[in-house]
Chains A and B, each alone.
Chain A
Amino acid sequence: MRVKTQAKIRTWLAYGLGGTFVFALVLPLIWVVTTSVRPLSEMTQTPPLIFPRSITFDAYVDLWDTGPFAKYFINSVVISFSTALIALIFSICAAYAFARFRFKGATLLLMVVVMSQMLPGSSILIPLFQVIRAMGLLDTHVGMVLIYTGFAIPFCTWLLNGYFRAIPVDLEQAALIDGCNRLELLYMIILPLAAPAIVAVGTFAFLLSWNEFLFAFVFTKSQALTIPVGLRAAFLGQYVNKYDQLFAASLIFSLPPIALFVGLQRYFVQGLTAGAVKE
């Protein structure tokens, strides 16, 4: 009986801790949602109200007049998808080479690739700015894609490398005997098998550029302005603080990544169980 009670207490403790943790994570989101639908007058009230007294969706309508969000949105989509695509192409090739070919300095090279991830982005902000300016790519899509791809590739390569290594070599050899060349082998055997990893890595690269603020803030001005910077420019200025619209816009523009996650969910789940059913 005592054991049962103890187990019960432990369960409730676990739930309690988990609940607190989830609440802490969700709180900002609740704040964003409630602020986006409350009238401006309630926003600056002290003490602040968690739940608005009256609800208005004006912000969701008005925000479209405040800035060229369609343009920012297209910029973000173009840059993020291009980043994901290019990063995938390069990291798949690199990761496969690291996983399967024996060449001099392979280990060292992979280490350098991983180590480049440990450098804080802000520390290379100024030199990178000079490079991009010298190339004439400031405030261009190409410039931003170049930067984000550079950030995404090391991690993508490292992750895919691990996944590729886990694919049995015999499968590849069977395919080589069956008549594949290396390239056919890669897209007919390796890529389908690594789909979960590729989806994960692609999503990572996409989100990296979709959410990025610092570099977009420094390297773009008007032409290649992305959503995060665009929001700030439109709603938070010296004389305006349209928090309701800012939060409404934030919610709207967080929908594409959510849709992406939901759409690709089955690959993530598959990724978790792939190892269990193989062999």
Chain B
Amino acid sequence: MAEVILKNIRKVYDKEVVAVDDANIEVKDKEFVVLVGPSGCGKSTTLRMIAGLEEISGGEISIDGKVVNDVPPKDRDIAMVFQNYALYPHMTVYQNMAFGLKLRKYPKDEIDARVQEAADILGIQELLQRKPKALSGGQRQRVAVGRAIVRKPKVFLFDEPLSNLDAKLRVQMRAEISKLHNRLEATMVYVTHDQTEAMTMGDRIVVMRDGLIQQIDEPLSLYNKPVNQFVAGFIGSPSMNLIRGNLSLSGGNLLFDEGSVQLMMPARYTELLGDHVGKEVMLGIRPEDIHDPDTIGRNVETIEIEAKVEVVEPMGNEVFLNLTTGETSFVARVDPLNMPKIDQMVKLAVEIDKAHFFDLDNEKSLLQR
């Protein structure tokens, strides 16, 4: 197994379109790194550059200490799982999985042993003689994963492997790939646009946007300490509420004033945000940090606000409320204990300690926590 290092990686199409700009990623040995971001953010391009399917316009990629910029895909000792499975339709499942080994001239018993082992791991023994068209989507994806693991490559690359599966199967395969990672102890790079997949699977997550890396961190650090407004909005579901307002000083404490919502900040914020008094800032608060006052613990510091319920989305174990107060709309994630009705005015407790503040111009987080 091996580490993958991307140094100042750049990809430019047709001398104009910059797909990836100055990407620096260090994937450690046996690490599961997820590249996540909206479509067109450059995550797939980055993965394909690691695979060797895309030429590198600038920078250096090394796998296991060896620079691979000019090494063809077959000599990089990687395996890749594609979004649309990319199984060879004219070959059986067995042949599909054995193909890479056969090309590398492995002895027949070795090939057989490895294919059987992979089939055991993935539970596809009874499918080995079938052609891909006789398989369901989930089975095809398993075969695609099997084709990768028989090779025992240094690095596994996954390009949105679950996005063609239905929701239930996706959750199941997600867990299976995580299990596989633990079992194989392999270095894996995984691309997805789904933040849930990223959060649940990755040891570390690389958030990308418009070809630029926004933040590289562990899932919970990303969630708790997003470096900018984009990461804050992208990670977490439902998304963080972002409310624009003015900061002013009021009796030694900071006051966030949106017009219809005024939030008096606890004293310690005065020092943290002192430079921004008199300026407009973006306040970010996650739906799960807005509570029903009745269900909240005594020792949590909250600010009470009142809002009108627009939409109620019961999820079973929790309820998403779409609310408005004045001009501002936001979402709260509350306990289903007191389910409000539409158009009802409700009191909510904002856990102000969990609030984030972002600069309006460069969208960077103002809290260096």
User: Is B88 a contact of A189 with CB atoms below 8 Å?
Assistant: yes
Cβ contacts under 8 Å, B86 to chain A: 168, 170-171, 173-174
Known: A173-B53, A176-B53. A181 touches B89 (CB 8 A): no
Binding stretch for chain A, among B77-85, B205-213, B350-358: B77-85
Cβ contacts under 8 Å, B103 to chain A: 178-180, 184
Cβ contacts under 8 Å, A278 to chain B: 89, 133
A175 to B103, CA, bound (A): 10
User: Is B84 a contact of A179 with CB atoms below 8 Å?
Assistant: no
Known: A170-B82, A277-B133. A177 touches B88 (CB 8 A): no
Cβ contacts under 8 Å, B72 to chain A: 176, 181
Cβ contacts under 8 Å, B138 to chain A: none
**Chain B residue at smallest Cβ distance from A274:** B89
> Nearest chain A CB to B106's CB is how many angstroms away?
11
**Chain B residue at smallest Cβ distance from A277:** B133
Q: Is A192 an interface residue (CB 8 A)?
A: yes
User: Is B84 a contact of A177 with CB atoms below 8 Å?
Assistant: no
Q: Is B104 an interface residue (CB 8 A)?
A: yes
> Nearest chain A CB to B288's CB is how many angstroms away?
39
A192 to B99, CA, bound (A): 14
List the count of A-B residue pairs having beta carbons below 8 Å apart: 59
**Chain A residue at smallest Cβ distance from B153:** A177
> Nearest chain B CB to A101's CB is how many angstroms away?
13
How many residues of chain A are within 8 Å of chain B by beta carbon?
Answer: 19
A192 to B82, CA, bound (A): 21
Q: Encode B72-104 as 1/0 by CB contact (under 8 A) with A.
A: 111000111011101111100000000110011
A135 to B137, CA, bound (A): 59
Interface band, chain B: 20 to 34
User: Is B74 a contact of A181 with CB atoms below 8 Å?
Assistant: yes
> Nearest chain B CB to A56's CB is how many angstroms away?
52
Q: Is B51 an interface residue (CB 8 A)?
A: yes
A160 to B359, CA, bound (A): 56
Q: Is A279 an interface residue (CB 8 A)?
A: yes
Cβ contacts under 8 Å, A177 to chain B: 51-53, 73-74, 78-80, 100
Cβ contacts under 8 Å, B114 to chain A: none
- Residue in B53, B82, B86, B151 whose Cβ sees the most chain A Cβ within 10 Å: B86
**Chain A residue at smallest Cβ distance from B148:** A177
User: Is A279 a contact of B73 with CB atoms below 8 Å?
Assistant: no
> Nearest chain A CB to B149's CB is how many angstroms away?
13
> Nearest chain B CB to A164's CB is how many angstroms away?
15
- Choose one: B73, B84, B90, B104; the contact of A193 (CB below 8 Å): B90
User: Is A180 a contact of B88 with CB atoms below 8 Å?
Assistant: no
**Majority secondary structure of chain B interface residues (helix, strand, loop or mixed):** loop
> Nearest chain A CB to B61's CB is how many angstroms away?
15
Cβ contacts under 8 Å, B78 to chain A: 177
**Chain A residue at smallest Cβ distance from B103:** A179
Q: Is B147 an interface residue (CB 8 A)?
A: yes
> Nearest chain B CB to A186's CB is how many angstroms away?
14
A261 to B133, CA, bound (A): 27
Cβ contacts under 8 Å, A184 to chain B: 103
Cβ contacts under 8 Å, A277 to chain B: 133
**Chain A residue at smallest Cβ distance from B131:** A277
Cβ contacts under 8 Å, B82 to chain A: 170, 173-174
User: Is A176 a contact of B89 with CB atoms below 8 Å?
Assistant: no
A86 to B5, CA, bound (A): 48
A138 to B52, CA, bound (A): 51
Known: A173-B82, A179-B74. A193 touches B89 (CB 8 A): yes
- Residue in A173, A177, A181 whose Cβ sees the most chain B Cβ within 10 Å: A177
Cβ contacts under 8 Å, B83 to chain A: 170
Cβ contacts under 8 Å, B52 to chain A: 176-177
User: Is B104 a contact of A179 with CB atoms below 8 Å?
Assistant: yes
Known: A192-B90, A193-B89. A178 touches B74 (CB 8 A): yes
A168 to B104, CA, bound (A): 24
A171 to B80, CA, bound (A): 11
Q: Encode B12-45 as 1/0 by CB contact (under 8 A) with A.
A: 0000000000000000000000000000000000
Taking CB atoms and an 8 Å cut-off, the chain A residues in 239-257 that contact chain B are: none
> Nearest chain A CB to B73's CB is how many angstroms away?
5
- Choose one: A170, A171, A180, A193; the contact of B74 (CB below 8 Å): A180
Taking CB atoms and an 8 Å cut-off, the chain A residues in 85-119 that contact chain B are: none
Taking CB atoms and an 8 Å cut-off, the chain A residues in 42-78 that contact chain B are: none
7 closest residue pairs by CB, A with B: A179-B103, A178-B100, A170-B86, A174-B86, A179-B74, A192-B90, A177-B73
Beyond the given pairs A173-B80, A173-B82, A181-B74, 4 more chain A to chain B contacts, judged by CB atoms under 8 angstroms and listed by A's residue number, are A168-B84, A177-B51, A180-B103, A192-B90
A-B contact pairs, 14 of them (CB 8 A): A173-B53, A173-B82, A174-B80, A174-B82, A174-B86, A174-B88, A174-B147, A175-B99, A176-B52, A177-B74, A177-B100, A178-B74, A178-B99, A178-B147
Binding site for A on B (CB under 8 A): 51-53, 72-74, 78-80, 82-84, 86-90, 99-100, 103-104, 133, 147, 151
Binding site for B on A (CB under 8 A): 168, 170-171, 173-181, 184, 189, 192-193, 277-279
